[in-house]
Structures are given as structure tokens and as C-alpha cells.
Amino acid sequence: MNTLWIFNPDNDIALGNNLRNFTPPRNAMLLRQAGAMLPVWTAFDGDFIYSDNPADSNWLQSVMSVSRKNISLLSGDNIDKIESISPWGWSRAIANTLQQKGVPPYLLPSDEQIDKIRILSHRRSSIFINQQLQQHGLNASIPVEFSDIQQLKSYLDTHHSAVVLKSPWSSSGRGVLYSDNTETSRLLSQAEGIIKNQGSILVEPKHKKIIDFAMLYQLKNGIAKYVGLSVFNTLIGGNYTGNIVASEQHLSNIITQYISPTYLTQLQNALEVILCDLVGNNYNGICGIDMMVYVDENGDYQIAPCIELNLRHTMGYVAHCLARDIIAPYSIAEMKVEYIGNNPADMQQYLPPQFDNNNRLINGTLSLIPTNPHFAITLTTTP
């Protein structure tokens, strides 16, 4: 398909920064470099991947029998073959990087288009989505947005339940504050910094979480099409750690232990309509809406139907593609993202991958990126 794929997991931070020349935080940069080859699992035969490491080409060849795709690194010799671009997400920073690399401007979104994507990626979109879900007859709590620190202080003084405060643009737990484990003066000081840097802060109830999950959609020419479910794991602070990789039916069964299948289908259909209204023609590509199953104060199971809109690729979409293309049918696997840091000896020892006659993973662990000293992204299944 001659599409260029770029793994830029720092995209949400870059949107908040909104500069052409942007240097991500160290760990975000290390993940970007270590995971540059991750798009091999979402790309198509004949596509290209952006990487600054020429050695990645050898790794691409080594996994070709599993990926069943002939994919090349972007170079000066093949840049004229690129017909479209699929980054993890769009920002001024990644558009500038690609332009400096020599990608023709007509393949890149304009500043105006990126501004629209940035506005839609603001956590304020969750307010609109939840309001619209209520109009569709579905239960949803509405986040409250503050741009004045005194108004926020008054709100916190009169609302004694635990709440979560979130910056407009952030990723994987960054810019997320919890009122029940942070001293009030420190909480307000951090919130004031977020308001100063990004213009506002959003507040929503803190729930007793049971499951993190998401619904994935493909947006194209103003139409939203449901792709599948994502069930994932996070740490207490919200940092992503991995996904369950399995069939749509298995993922649905996990969620419908607590919520009726009918409700899940109603939510899925309502979001297709809402995303069309919200996004329109301003973005083409994969997006995900993060959700949560939680227990309310009465001990009943509920869904928070829109924690946030991720107008970009997600690890959940990678997991979806791995379930579709890589693991054996009816298998259940886990995709994990692990920070190695300075303690490589602490990494779990994995069994080597084993494949069936169709070269689908049936046992052991497949490394989804080249070996490196900073991060491991793996796919593990058992028979």
C-alpha cells in the first residue's frame, strides 16, 4: 500500500507542547527509539517504516516469516514511493520531522488540519461525547473543566468525594492527579501549573475500577466504523503495561461478566454516530475511546463510557492486529510493555516462540521489537 508508518508514542505530550521543534521526555524518547519497529504488526505488505537505526532492517527480515509482510525502512532511495503516511499520531512536531526527512509537503497535514486534530484531542472532547451518550439514553458522568484555580478550589472544598484531575493533553498517567492521595495545597499547586501551561484542567469522579477497556474505531471521510475491543492493564497511576490479545468474543465475554451485551452493543453503535458528528472530516485513521467497568457506591457494576478519546493509534489496536494475524485462532495471549532501565537482569526469562503449521504463535514469547537496553514489548501465549 506504500504507506509510511511512524511510532511516535510521545504524540500526546507533543500536542500539549504544540511546537515544531519538540524534544520528548527521556523515557518517551527511549520508547520511541526502542519501539520504532512496532508498526510492522499494523502495517501492510509493501509498506515502509520510519527508523533512525539502519540495523532495524535486519530485524524486519528476521520476522518476515511471522509477519508475512515485505516491509522496508524509509530511505532516500524509496521516499518517492510513499503514497500516504500513518503516524502513531499527528502533531506539529512529527510533521516537521517528516518534512525535514524529505517527505513531500502534499503528503503532510497543514498546520490548520493539525490544529483541528489538537483541539479534538483535548480532553474536553470527553465532555461532548458523554453528553451525547446521555442523549442516546446511556448513563454517563460529565467531567467539569476549570480554567480558574479559585473556582477549582471552591469545587474541591464542596465536593468531598475522591476526584481525578487531568491535564488537557497527556499520556499514560502523565498529568493525572488524584485528590485522595495528594495533600490539597500540593494538588492545587500542580493544578495551577497545568492551567498555566495548557489553559485548563478537567475534573471527574474517581471510580473503583474493575476493568480498563476501550472501543476502537476507523475514521475515514467523516464516517466512523467500529473495529473491535481492547482490554488492557494499567498501574495505579494510570501507566499502561499491556493488553490481552484474544478474539473479539473473548474480550467481550470479559466485559459482559459485569455489563449486559445489549448495553455494550448500544454503546458501540452510539459512538459511531457521535464520532461522526464530533470529528467529521478532520481526521482519518484509527482512534480509541478508553472506558472502565467500575463498582458504584451501591455495589453495582457500571461503565464509564468515555474516559478519553485517543485520536491516534493505540496499543489496543496493535493488540487487535496481533489477535487477527499472529496468534493461533482461539489462543489467548498477553502483550506487555516493560521498562528495562538499568536492571536487565530483572527481566523475566521467556520460553522461545513456537508456531503451528500456519506459522501462528501457539506457545512461548515473541519479541515485537528488536532487542535493546531500554524497553521490551512482547507477545506471550500458552497452549
- What is the per-residue pLDDT across 21-57, written as a single tens digit (0 to 9) for each? 988 889 899 999 999 999 999 999 999 999 999 999 9
pLDDT value of residue 131: 98
pLDDT over threshold 70, residue 322:
yes
Instruction: Identify whether residues 104 and 200 lie together within a single domain.
Output: no
Q: Is the residue at 50 inside a domain?
A: yes
Instruction: Identify whether residues 20 and 115 lie together within a single domain.
Output: yes
Instruction: Identify whether residues 270 and 314 lie together within a single domain.
Output: yes
pLDDT value of residue 346: 53
Over residues 207-255, the pLDDT tens digits come to 999 999 999 999 999 999 999 999 999 887 778 899 999 999 999 999 9
Question: How many Å separate Cα 290 from the centre of its chain?
Answer: 9
pLDDT value of residue 173: 59
CB 69 within 8 A of CB 43: yes
For range 318-345, the mean pLDDT: 89
pLDDT value of residue 340: 85
Confidence of residue 12 (pLDDT cuts 50, 70, 90): very high
Q: Which of these, 224, 226, 204, lies nearest to 215 by C-alpha position?
A: 226
> Under the phi-then-psi rule, with left for phi > 0, alpha for psi from -120 to 50, and beta for the rest, what region is 320?
alpha
Instruction: Identify whether residues 61 and 36 lie together within a single domain.
Output: yes
Number of structural domains in the chain: 4
**CATH number for the domain including 310?**
3.30.470.20
CB proximity list for 57: less than 8 A, separation 6 or greater? 72, 73
Over residues 176-201, the pLDDT tens digits come to 999 888 888 999 999 999 999 999 99
Instruction: Identify whether residues 240 and 155 lie together within a single domain.
Output: no
pLDDT value of residue 47: 97
pLDDT value of residue 239: 84
**CATH number for the domain including 186?**
3.30.1490.20
For range 4-11, the mean pLDDT: 96
pLDDT over threshold 60, residue 17:
yes
Measured CA to CA, the distance from residue 290 to residue 164 in angstroms comes to 15
Instruction: Identify whether residues 115 and 11 lie together within a single domain.
Output: yes
Predicted TM-score (pTM) of this structure: 0.95
pLDDT over threshold 60, residue 296:
yes
- Of 319, 343, 367, the residue that ends a domain is 319
Q: Is the residue at 60 inside a domain?
A: yes
Measured CA to CA, the distance from residue 300 to residue 298 in angstroms comes to 6
Q: Is the residue at 324 inside a domain?
A: no
pLDDT over threshold 80, residue 160:
no
E strand or H helix at 339, and its extent?
Answer: strand 333-339
Instruction: Identify whether residues 243 and 159 lie together within a single domain.
Output: no
User: What DSSP assignment string belongs to 251-301?
Assistant: HHHHHTTTS-HHHHHHHHHHHHHHHHHHHTTS--EEEEEEEEEEE-TTS-E
The whole domain housing 353 covers 330-381
Instruction: Identify whether residues 289 and 216 lie together within a single domain.
Output: yes
pLDDT value of residue 140: 95
- Of 205, 222, 247, the residue that ends a domain is 205
Q: Is the residue at 135 inside a domain?
A: no
173 or 336: whose pLDDT is higher?
336
Instruction: Identify whether residues 61 and 111 lie together within a single domain.
Output: yes
Q: Is the residue at 281 inside a domain?
A: yes
Instruction: Identify whether residues 152 and 256 lie together within a single domain.
Output: no
For range 58-66, the mean pLDDT: 95
- Of 272, 291, 319, the residue that ends a domain is 319
For range 349-365, the mean pLDDT: 93
CB proximity list for 8: less than 8 A, separation 6 or greater? 14, 32, 87, 88, 89, 91, 93, 94
For range 291-317, the mean pLDDT: 96
Instruction: Identify whether residues 151 and 255 lie together within a single domain.
Output: no
| Exposure string over 244-263, b if 16+ CB within 10 A, otherwise e | bbbbeebbbeebeeebeeee
Q: Is the residue at 131 inside a domain?
A: no
pLDDT value of residue 348: 66
Percent of the chain with pLDDT over 90: 87
CB proximity list for 351: less than 8 A, separation 6 or greater? 363, 364, 365
Measured CA to CA, the distance from residue 323 to residue 69 in angstroms comes to 16
pLDDT value of residue 326: 98
For range 48-76, the mean pLDDT: 94
Whole-number average pLDDT of the chain: 94
Instruction: Identify whether residues 314 and 335 lie together within a single domain.
Output: no
pLDDT over threshold 60, residue 345:
no
pLDDT value of residue 183: 87
Q: Is the residue at 134 inside a domain?
A: no
Q: Is the residue at 93 inside a domain?
A: yes
pLDDT value of residue 1: 76
